[in-house]
Amino acid sequence: MADSIAPNVLVLGATGIIGQRLCEVATSSGYNVIAVSRHPKPLSSARNIEHIALNVRDLHALNGALKGRYFDAAIDLLSFTPEHVHATLEVLHGIATRYVFISSATVSAPAAMDAEITEDSRLVVDGWRYPINKLACEAVVRQLANSHHQDFTIIRPYVTYSEARLPFGPWEESQVLPMLKYGLPIVIPSEVASATTAITHTDDLARGIVALTRTSMSHGDVFQVVSPELTTWRRIFECAAEALDVELNLHTIPLEEFNSIWPDLAGKSTDRAMSRVFSAQKLRSAVPDFEFRFDVRSGYMEILRGLQAKAPQTAEAGPGFGPRDLGRYARMTAKMDEGDRFTEFASRLNGLDRVKYLVGRYASLDHAHQALGSIRSKGGVSRDYG
């Protein structure tokens, strides 16, 4: 990639949590950025950024918008299935020198005895569909890159955090922070609480992506961009409580019990229950001057204190759940001393919201609702009975 003129980079998924920071880092690194996303958002005041609002899955619109353009690199944050990758590479064929596919480090199985996971470590073969689909995407990248003579780089991030998103094991900050603030019981799987994990600030990930996009050392290869710092989800909850100056009311239950109540979170919670230690050696070999700048404790505390300063002070508080999930949480905490606190919030619900709460509150209703939804999604319910 020539250094004498500003290179052009296409970012697909530019207004997402990673995409926004990626565009900022790329422009500050001297790239001309063409930022594509479905919804127009102000990205940056930098002169070397252009925003195109369209649905990347609309190939006709994407082809039209990119016709006659040329990119030194295209960074794809929006492909989650092999079909996505195939369609995107067909559009980019001949107009992008390098294709940078953002995969996921969840494709790596835990190493024995908590050994470091490298890019060549054992991969998952079943379970959560997200990493299975990402692995299939990587295979399509290699296959099409070979047939199209396309330069490519595959990048595997793991869990990331930023001002836009703070993960808490299986939960997100919109659910956890209200419960932290008002002393409500927070429940996570015991296996998640104790698992050794790595979590990376989005700024560090964005800088890693840009650095690997720039260097010829990443040609045709796969790289993890994951902070080498080790922590546990329990420590992250403790850090959040310290930042908000509240007492942590954390409870744990077995993973199997948690997943039975929250089947839609089972893939993520099972992944978070795996101890993973990632190596950064290959990244540093390709980009010797790269350093991770953020540690988890100071990163989380800075973000949380900023959010607390901006948060409106409301007289009435409640957990960050919809009615059915509130019912599930009440069911999960029913045997705890403070389980009735969620029943108190439920008393404020009326009409359809009250019905949704009751569906989540009682396992038999919840399971029946899930089964009906599964049948409908497979086309097994006639319109006459739907």
Residue 263: give its domain's CATH number. 3.40.50.720
CA angle 269, 339, 367 (to 5 degrees): 55
List the beta strands (DSSP E) in 115-273. Answer: 116-117, 151-157, 159-161, 167-168, 171-172, 186-189, 196-197, 199-201, 221-225, 231-232, 250-253
Q: Is the pLDDT of residue 383 over 60?
A: no
Hey, what amino acid is at 1? M
> Where does the pLDDT of residue 206 fall: very low under 50, low under 70, confident under 90, or very high at 90 and above?
very high
Hey, what amino acid is at 53? A
CA distance 65 to 45: 22
Q: Give residue 114's pLDDT.
A: 72
Interior/surface letters 296-320, b for 16+ CB within 10 angstroms, e for the rest: bbebbeebbeeeeeeeeeeeeebbe
Q: Give residue 45's pLDDT.
A: 62
Q: Give residue 334's pLDDT.
A: 87
**Structure-token pair, residue 367:** 């399971």
> Where does the pLDDT of residue 315 fall: very low under 50, low under 70, confident under 90, or very high at 90 and above?
very low
Q: Tens digit of pLDDT for each residue in 26-59?
A: 999 999 999 999 876 655 666 789 999 999 999 9
List the beta strands (DSSP E) in 170-260. Answer: 171-172, 186-189, 196-197, 199-201, 221-225, 231-232, 250-253
Smallest CA-to-CA distance from 283 within 241, 230, 226 is with: 226
Residues 73, 96 contacting (CB under 8 angstroms): yes
Whether residues 27 and 175 share a domain: the answer is yes
Q: Which domain holds residue 339?
A: 323-377
- CB-based burial label for 33 (10 Å; 0-12, 13-18, 19+): buried
DSSP H or E stretch at residue 73: strand 71-76
CA distance 251 to 259: 15
Whether residues 345 and 267 share a domain: the answer is no
Whether residues 300 and 349 share a domain: the answer is no
Q: Is the pLDDT of residue 3 over 80?
A: no
Q: Is the pLDDT of residue 316 over 70?
A: no
Q: Is residue 199 part of a domain?
A: yes
Q: Which residues contact 314 (CB under 8 A, 6 or more apart)?
A: none
Domain limit, last residue, from 245, 279, 306: 306
CA distance 328 to 251: 16
Compute CA distances 130 → 82, 124, 269, 369, whole Å.
Answer: 12, 11, 13, 24
Q: Tens digit of pLDDT for each residue in 240-287?
A: 999 999 999 999 999 999 999 999 999 999 999 999 999 999 999 999
Whether residues 334 and 297 share a domain: the answer is no
Domain limit, last residue, from 273, 306, 339: 306
Whether residues 278 and 360 share a domain: the answer is no
Residue 123 DSSP label = B
CA distance 374 to 132: 21
Q: Give residue 146's pLDDT.
A: 86
**Structure-token pair, residue 97:** 């020198």
Q: Give residue 372's pLDDT.
A: 80
Whether residues 175 and 204 share a domain: the answer is yes
Whether residues 361 and 257 share a domain: the answer is no
Half-sphere exposure of 331 (CA within 13 A, CB side): 21
Q: Is residue 14 part of a domain?
A: yes
What integer is the mean pLDDT of 212-238?
A: 96
- CB-based burial label for 61 (10 Å; 0-12, 13-18, 19+): middle
Q: Is residue 228 part of a domain?
A: yes
> Where does the pLDDT of residue 319 fall: very low under 50, low under 70, confident under 90, or very high at 90 and above?
confident
Q: Give residue 312's pLDDT.
A: 58
**Structure-token pair, residue 126:** 């079943």
CA distance 10 to 46: 16
Q: Give residue 93's pLDDT.
A: 93
Q: Is residue 298 part of a domain?
A: yes
> Where does the pLDDT of residue 374 fall: very low under 50, low under 70, confident under 90, or very high at 90 and above?
low
Whether residues 258 and 143 share a domain: the answer is yes
Q: Which residues contact 25 (CB under 8 A, 6 or more apart)?
A: 203, 206, 207, 209, 210
Whether residues 194 and 248 share a domain: the answer is yes
